[in-house]
Structure 1
Amino acid sequence: MPRKLLRRWLPTRETLDNNAFLRRCAPFLTHHNLWHLNRHSVAGGLAVGLACGMIPGPLQILNATILAILFRVNLPVAIFGTFFSNPFTIVPLYIAAYGLGRLITGANGTQAVIPPAPETQWSDLGASVQAWLDWMLTLGTPLAVGIVALALLLALAGYGVVQLGWRLHVLHALRLRRQRRGA
């Protein structure tokens, strides 16, 4: 991945130091791998972000931050990696997780039809959240197993794609440099 492109999008350490809230968290944010753009740190950050993106509810970014600090991978990439799950994609992701969970648990005979997803009523958000939680609980074990399995699969795929893409980009740049020297 081109570093210049990533540096343009990601916040710098100095902008975070200027934030009053984040200054309190500074001791946890000092490891260089949290901000360094190398193949392993970015791949790990994306893997953490993709895995945490499958967490239900608004705790995705918080969990991605905690795991990025624990595993010492790129923090901004981990946070941005959670954004693949949003109100438009979460239902298809959970349906895929439910199908994967049914495949893993062997629950093919029980509850063959997915109950219809509830409608979100923005005027009564508390009731909507409760309706979504109840819907997820009716899906039971296959959904729980499927969410974990899909999170792990997405994390492994994201890690592999970044590692491979970064390596191919470096090899391409080396090839171009050799061609320029030879010409």
Structure 2
Amino acid sequence: MPKKLIKKYMPSPESIKEHKHLTFLGDKLHDPNLWHLNRRSVAAAFAVGLFVAWIPTPGQMIISAIIALYFRANLPISVALVWVTNPLTMPPMFYFAYRFGLWILNMPSPDADFEFSLESVTTGISDIGGPFLMGCLVLGIISSLIGYFGIRLFWRWHVVKQWRERAER
């Protein structure tokens, strides 16, 4: 059962409430809905975590925690899911976001005659910023929708399967 597997690896609410980087959230961490494992809270956590994973900024875990508080999503799962972007996956994900942004904005690919100098790097950053951020935004929205509805469907499928197995016994 997904609920048992998630509970096995999830930290206790007390350890997260006492975490030094989350103390600024105060009593909001005591909301029991942030710690429940049900279809709604886990699906919302997947939506939050996968969306924030595409935000190209440091502090993704804090951003995810704040958004999870607002949507009353499962806090540990939403914070853990931002680690989809880690030092190994970040370069290919963000390169794909840039290429996807170029496609969305219908922009041509830049010249392959890139020469490494301070001027070309600063010019290049301004050229890639728009497509990169657009790609990250759209891919974040797509990922969060797939995560949300995928978890809801998987959870429903699993519950129906258990009902059928129980009825057969």
- Return the TM-score normalized by structure 2: 0.86
Q: Distance in 2 between matches of 1:25 and 1:150?
A: 29
8 Å Cα contact 2:17/2:29 also seen in 1 = no
Cα gap change, 1:114/1:147 in structure 2, threshold over 3 Å: closer, same or farther?
farther
Cα gap change, 1:21/1:65 in structure 2, threshold over 3 Å: closer, same or farther?
closer
Cα gap change, 1:140/1:34 in structure 2, threshold over 3 Å: closer, same or farther?
same
Residues 15-60 of structure 1 deviation map (CA, whole Å, 9 limit, x = unaligned): 3345566566441112222111000100100110111111223211
Q: Distance in 2 between matches of 1:170 and 1:34?
A: 22
Residue 161 of structure 1 aligns to which amino acid in structure 2?
A: G
Residue aligned with 1:144, SS: helix
Cα gap change, 1:134/1:59 in structure 2, threshold over 3 Å: closer, same or farther?
farther
Cα gap change, 1:2/1:146 in structure 2, threshold over 3 Å: closer, same or farther?
same
8 Å Cα contact 2:94/2:136 also seen in 1 = yes
Residue 40 of structure 2 aligns to which amino acid in structure 1?
A: H
Residues 111-136 of structure 1 deviation map (CA, whole Å, 9 limit, x = unaligned): 265969x9xxxxxxxxxxxx8x9865
Q: Distance in 2 between matches of 1:106 and 1:76?
A: 38
Please name the residue that 1:176 is paired with. Answer: 165
Show structure 1 runs of 5+ residues with no match: 119-130
8 Å Cα contact 1:114/1:139 also seen in 2 = no
Please name the residue that 1:97 is paired with. Answer: 97
Asked if 1:74 corresponds to 2:74, the answer is yes
Shift of 1:176: 0.5
Asked if 1:86 corresponds to 2:75, the answer is no
Cα gap change, 1:177/1:97 in structure 2, threshold over 3 Å: closer, same or farther?
same
1:140 to 129, 134, 155: 129
| More displaced stretch, 81-90 vs 94-103 | 94-103
Cα gap change, 1:23/1:55 in structure 2, threshold over 3 Å: closer, same or farther?
closer
2:140 to 142, 151, 168: 151
Q: Distance in 1 between matches of 2:147 and 2:63?
A: 18
Residue aligned with 1:56, SS: coil
- Return the TM-score normalized by structure 1: 0.79
Residue 144 of structure 1 aligns to which amino acid in structure 2?
A: L
Q: How many percent of aligned residue pairs carry the same amino acid?
A: 34
Cα gap change, 1:112/1:166 in structure 2, threshold over 3 Å: closer, same or farther?
farther
Please name the residue that 1:111 is paired with. Answer: 110
Q: Distance in 1 between matches of 2:129 and 2:21?
A: 39
Residues 63-118 of structure 1 deviation map (CA, whole Å, 9 limit, x = unaligned): 000100111110001001101101111111111111221121111x35265969x9
Please name the residue that 1:51 is paired with. Answer: 51
Show structure 2 runs of 5+ residues with no match: none
- Count of residue correspondences: 165
